[in-house]
Amino acid sequence: MISTVLATRSSTKQSRIRTVLLASSAFLLASCTGENISTPEASESSANKLAFSQAGAITNERLKGAHSEPEQWLTGGRDYQQSYYSPLDKINEGNIDQLGVAWTYDIDSEDGFEATPIVVDGMMYASGPRGSVYVLNAETGEEIWTFLPEIDPQIYRKVCCGVVNRGLTVWKGNVYVASLDGYLYALDAKSGDIVWKSDTIVDRERGYSVTGSPYMAGDLVIIGNSGAELDARGYVTAYDYKTGEEAWRFYTVPGNPSNGFEHPELEMAAKTWDENSLWEAGLGGTVWDGMAYDPELDLLYVGTGNSAPYPRKLRSPSGGDNLFLASILAINPKTGKLVWHYQSTPGENWDYTATQKMILADMVIEGENRKVIMQAPKNGFFYVIDRETGELISADPYVQVNWASHVDLETGRPVETGQGEYFEEPKLVFPGPAGGHNWQPMAYNPGTGLVYIPAMEAPAIFSMVDAPYSYQKGQPHFAAKYIFPVPGPWGFGSEIASDLPPFSELSEGQPDPTVKGILKAWDPVQKKVVWEVDTSARWTGQLFSVWNGGGVMTTGGDLVFQGRGTGELAILDAKSGRELHEVNIGTSMMAAPMSYQLGDKQYVAIMAGLGGALGKQHLPGTAAYEFGNKGRIVALELGGGEVPMRKAKIHSQSNTLMPPVSRRGDAQTIEMGEGLFDRTCRICHANAGAAPDLTKMDLVAHETFLDIVLKGARADKGMGSYEGVIDQNEAEAIHTFLIDKAWQNYESEVDQPAPHQPDAE
């Protein structure tokens, strides 16, 4: 369904846009014509004409020739190869200590910032939470226009892993962005006016949301979706860039064969599933992040996600590879037909998504020129694949792996060890569901020949859920339990841990289970780690260690840039990994940096702010804890000053305050509430997750709990109404459990019993 909405802008706003664009427009005119422009006023008419005719002017031809425009950053990864490599070298080891702030742009949101801005012809385009868009003068940081989509508040209860957005795309005068609730917008690059809006969700009663970036394939806009952990059935859809009309849709897993198939590939895929699979559960395979497009081969590459539910014994009882879970698909964008596919994790069992960013490169391997696609998915193996034919060239572990011994290059299949089979007893599995590499972009430097991976060592103990599986529409349905070998609610502090065998027994004979983050330089030809740097900071052995290191960018100045949760932007030598310098940004970072040039000045910019399923942990030691988590874009230049610091926050000396309400309810109600919380709320509110810890609610939250849960009283803060999902008695049971849990936490800290008043409000 397509609807067109016309937005209006005041004449004052348009006038300000022209003023802001003037300086960068004058530079653009000079660079294109070779003219010497002494003052912006002298060429106001011609400069504005050029700026408005050039705004967002990205085409296939321009992407193919990105090497001739090193000053631009034309896609999320800079080029069509999605390399996260800038050829610029004005900033290098010799002057890196002179890097300082050029400008900052503050964003009034405390949700996660995971996108990398695009810069084209002096204008910066950046996306933020919910699908917001910020367009700035790339020289000064002054705002040109912004876009904040109207969001259906019900979407917040369908979001698995944070209120985030991983990017936008710019094409032939339009900006394309997807909102959290699944609408794809085309915005005029000059004004921000809505050109068209398309609904990308096929069933709004299911757990669909959109957090990924659109990609261009020719003149088609491609978008996937999230929600496998709820009950989404994955697919990717192509839309005409001018009109928003649907061109084709490719489902990544089959539906019930008795209902027929939407396209021929699904009939083939269905043969890899039990005919009695849990079709009603959606099965997963969502395309929530990485894609790439090769305009020369005219092939679109799509990474698919995890299974749902996780245990294959439950999902597809008689076994099977379960295509197209955890796969790379090569699709002809003109027809929407599959050209080839490669499945990295057949019978996916552990949340081993293959949605991580993919990088296209041309390299010499064993004396032969190869066009390759590279990916470091969650399962722990680094893949090099011929991107024309789908032939597997190499697959080698880049982190510790115990679920498989190796990948057989003849068959392309991993050889499983049995250590990942947790159906009968708990198992310690390497990697865990966070993966060896999550969504944070890796980068490829053609000069060094190395791929820089923000990797993690994070095993997990998997086990089956005790209760029989029961599908509920729109609700989480993992059907497996897991904890990490760390202290706290995601680890040994979890109720799950109390049912497990001793950790010494689970870890016997297995690799070192210490959880940590590592930036690794991987040689895809020699198939080995060249250097690595521990990015855990003070959190070695804790879960936040894997999120302290953000996405990566590398440059022609032989540098690697990585933002940290501590608030420092680290700059390393690309050849050795030696840290050369760091800039205190004052805001925690997860997104990948980028670089561009205006005139003779090179800039480095990054979107800052924590977020995601586990990333929004405002722990002591993070900049988010010290200064808050409001987002901002920070641009740096040589000769710049110190980044302005925000006012430090004041924190209580105690981690656990006395709950502001009395205990109530009987053991049966508390147990009922705990079960409902686990089923409905834990996915977001699991203490260390992306939403607030509900055991620390203030008095106002307690007094308005039912209004918040059942009436959407805090929908504007991301908490939609659960009316129709749970009733009032169930909501009260959840509240009773949370109050009891809050008192348990308080008692354990202060060693003081709490009064129990069953009838108190």
- The contacts of residue 346 (CB under 8 Å, 6+ apart) are 321, 322, 326, 413, 414
Is the pLDDT at 49 greater than 50, yes or no? no
Q: Who has greater pLDDT, 185 or 489? A: 185
Choose, from 181, 294, 351, 740, the residue flagged as catalytic. Answer: 351
User: Do residues 80 and 101 both lie within one domain?
Assistant: no
User: Do residues 73 and 210 both lie within one domain?
Assistant: no
* Residue 614 pLDDT: 61
Lowest mean pLDDT among 309-313, 556-560, 703-707: 703-707
d(CA 461, CA 498): 12
Question: Sign of the CA dihedral 612, 618, 622, 626?
Answer: positive
Collapsed DSSP state (helix, strand, coil) of residue 437:
strand
Domain hosting residue 672, numbered range: 667-750
User: Do residues 44 and 144 both lie within one domain?
Assistant: no
User: Do residues 66 and 23 both lie within one domain?
Assistant: yes
User: Do residues 685 and 711 both lie within one domain?
Assistant: yes
* Residue 656 pLDDT: 59
d(CA 680, CA 726): 9
* Residue 724 pLDDT: 81
Average pLDDT over all residues of the chain: 89
**pLDDT tens digits, residue range 476-533?**
888 999 999 999 878 998 888 988 999 999 999 999 999 999 999 999 999 999 999 9
Token pair belonging to 740: 């009891």
Token pair belonging to 362: 């041309």
**pLDDT tens digits, residue range 381-432?**
999 999 999 999 999 999 999 999 999 999 999 999 999 999 999 999 999 9
Express as a percent the part of the chain with pLDDT over 90: 73
Q: Who has greater pLDDT, 6 or 324? A: 324
Q: What is the DSSP string of 537-603?
A: GGGTTSGGGGTSEEEEEEETTTEEEEEETTSEEEEEETTT--EEEEEE-SS---S--EEEEETTEEE
Contact 361, 372 (CB under 8 A): yes
Contact 190, 17 (CB under 8 A): yes
Collapsed DSSP state (helix, strand, coil) of residue 301:
strand
Is the pLDDT at 102 greater than 50, yes or no? yes
User: Do residues 610 and 732 both lie within one domain?
Assistant: no
Kindly state whether residue 651 falls inside one of the protein's structural domains.
Answer: no
* Range 193-211 average pLDDT: 97
Contact 265, 231 (CB under 8 A): no
Domain boundary among 51, 86, 121: 86
* Residue 615 pLDDT: 62
Residue 756 β-bridge partners = 663
Collapsed DSSP state (helix, strand, coil) of residue 171:
strand
Buried b (16+ CB within 10 A) or exposed e, 506-531: beeeeeebebbbbbbbbebbebebbb
Kindly state whether residue 646 falls inside one of the protein's structural domains.
Answer: no
The length of the chain is 761
Single-letter amino acid, residue 43: S
Kindly state whether residue 759 falls inside one of the protein's structural domains.
Answer: no
User: Do residues 210 and 339 both lie within one domain?
Assistant: yes
The distance from CA 704 to its chain's CA centroid, rounded to whole angstroms, is 32
CATH label of the domain that carries residue 564 = 2.140.10.10
Each as own residue / partner, the long-range contacts of residues 7-15 (CB below 8 Å, 24 or more positions apart, any chain) are 7/192, 7/193, 7/194, 8/193, 9/145, 9/191, 9/192, 9/193, 13/145, 14/191
Express as a percent the part of the chain with pLDDT over 70: 89
Token pair belonging to 175: 């900006």
Place of tokens 């209902």: 259
User: Do residues 718 and 741 both lie within one domain?
Assistant: yes
* Residue 605 pLDDT: 98
CATH label of the domain that carries residue 674 = 1.10.760.10
Kindly state whether residue 525 falls inside one of the protein's structural domains.
Answer: yes
Q: How many domains does the chain have?
A: 3
Is the pLDDT at 98 greater than 90, yes or no? yes
d(CA 223, CA 739): 42
d(CA 352, CA 438): 10
d(CA 40, CA 25): 9
Residue 152 has a CB neighbour count (10 Å cut-off) of 16
User: Do residues 71 and 100 both lie within one domain?
Assistant: no
Token pair belonging to 247: 């061109």
Collapsed DSSP state (helix, strand, coil) of residue 670:
helix
For the chain, give percent helix, strand, coil, nearest 5.
20, 30, 50
User: Do residues 267 and 147 both lie within one domain?
Assistant: yes
d(CA 679, CA 299): 41
Q: What is the DSSP string of 444-496?
A: EETTTTEEEEEEEE--EEEEE-SSPP---TTS----EEEE-SSSSTTTTTSGG
Residue 256 has a CB neighbour count (10 Å cut-off) of 13
Collapsed DSSP state (helix, strand, coil) of residue 519:
strand
Contact 9, 192 (CB under 8 A): yes
DSSP state of 307: B
Place of tokens 């109390």: 498
d(CA 113, CA 121): 24
Highest mean pLDDT among 81-95, 612-626, 717-731: 81-95
Contact 350, 326 (CB under 8 A): no
Buried b (16+ CB within 10 A) or exposed e, 352-378: bbbbbbbbbbebeeeeeebbbbbbbbb
* Range 141-161 average pLDDT: 91
Lowest mean pLDDT among 31-35, 534-538, 611-615: 31-35
DSSP E strands, 259-303: 291-294, 299-303
* Residue 624 pLDDT: 93
Which band of pLDDT confidence, cut at 50, 70 and 90, is reported for residue 713?
confident
User: Do residues 157 and 271 both lie within one domain?
Assistant: yes
Single-letter amino acid, residue 523: D
Q: Who has greater pLDDT, 59 or 716? A: 59
Kindly state whether residue 761 falls inside one of the protein's structural domains.
Answer: no
* 619: nearest Cα among 716, 513, 488, 737: 488
Burial (0-12, 13-18, 19+ Cβ within 10 Å), 16: middle
Token pair belonging to 246: 């649907």
Is the pLDDT at 637 greater than 50, yes or no? yes
Which band of pLDDT confidence, cut at 50, 70 and 90, is reported for residue 21?
very low
Sheet with strand 169-171: strands edge to edge = 2-3, 194-199, 183-188, 174-178, 169-171
Is the pLDDT at 242 greater than 80, yes or no? yes
d(CA 101, CA 81): 29
* Range 361-365 average pLDDT: 97
Lowest mean pLDDT among 99-113, 114-128, 479-493, 583-597: 479-493
Kindly state whether residue 157 falls inside one of the protein's structural domains.
Answer: yes
**pLDDT tens digits, residue range 308-319?**
999 999 999 999
Residue 198 β-bridge partners = 2, 184
Domain boundary among 29, 51, 86: 86
Which band of pLDDT confidence, cut at 50, 70 and 90, is reported for residue 441?
very high
Kindly state whether residue 46 falls inside one of the protein's structural domains.
Answer: yes
**pLDDT tens digits, residue range 668-701?**
999 898 888 877 887 677 644 456 788 888 888 8
Which band of pLDDT confidence, cut at 50, 70 and 90, is reported for residue 635?
very high
- The contacts of residue 724 (CB under 8 Å, 6+ apart) are none
Which band of pLDDT confidence, cut at 50, 70 and 90, is reported for residue 749?
low
Collapsed DSSP state (helix, strand, coil) of residue 436:
coil
Is 759 catalytic? The answer is no
Single-letter amino acid, residue 657: L
User: Do residues 511 and 605 both lie within one domain?
Assistant: yes
Q: Who has greater pLDDT, 745 or 199? A: 199
User: To 10 degrees, what angle do helices 667-680 and 728-750 make?
Assistant: 100
Question: Sign of the CA dihedral 721, 724, 729, 734?
Answer: negative
d(CA 589, CA 606): 8
Kindly state whether residue 648 falls inside one of the protein's structural domains.
Answer: no
d(CA 175, CA 55): 10
d(CA 200, CA 370): 36
Domain boundary among 86, 120, 141: 86
Is the pLDDT at 741 greater than 60, yes or no? yes
**pLDDT tens digits, residue range 578-608?**
999 999 999 999 999 999 999 999 999 999 9
